[in-house]
Amino acid sequence: MKKYVDGGKRPLEYQVGDRVMLELTPDIWKKIKSRQYQKGLISRYDGPFEILKRIGPVAYKLKLPERLQLHPSFHVSFLKPYHEDPNPDRVQAKRPPLNIRKEFSRDIASVEREREKTLILIHMINFLQ
């Protein structure tokens, strides 16, 4: 049975120096701690990143920028090959860089409204700056 399922599949292999895109999973977004973007508005892949070395048969170590603050080794299933743009003169919209969430003051500026339920609407100081 396994030979029929895995018959047409072959493991992805990359060479040191190749550029790959990294799949942004919910686990990775929790580690980035960015509240600037909604989940539906972010792209599914980030990169390209250079492969520094192969770790075992199915894992690779990537050269990541400081903004990500992640462990640099990933399973091959989280990587996809990066293809250069065939038309580099085309104008593309640039994504703003991801900002890591800054610490904010937990001081309450004012209580806007209080209901009979245990739901309080408050105004926070410096929440998303």
User: Predicted confidence band at 63 (pLDDT cuts at 50, 70, 90)?
Assistant: very high
Does 67 score more than 80 pLDDT? no
Q: What is the mean pLDDT of residues 26-47?
A: 68
Of 45 and 29, the one with more pLDDT:
45
pLDDT digits (tens, 9 = 90+) for 79-128: 999 988 888 787 766 766 666 555 555 665 565 565 556 555 566 666 55
Q: Is the pTM of this model over 0.85?
A: no
For residues 33 and 67, is the Cβ–Cβ distance under 8 A? no
Question: Is there a contact between 18 and 48 (Cβ–Cβ < 8 Å)?
Answer: no
Residue 72's pLDDT is 92
For 41, list phi and psi in degrees, rounded to 5.
Answer: -100, -5
Asked if 59 and 76 touch (Cβ cutoff 8 Å), the reply is: yes
Q: Between these two residues, 90 and 71, which has the higher pLDDT value? A: 71
For the chain, percent of residues with pLDDT exceeding 90: 25
How many other CB atoms are there within 10 angstroms of residue 23's CB atom? 16
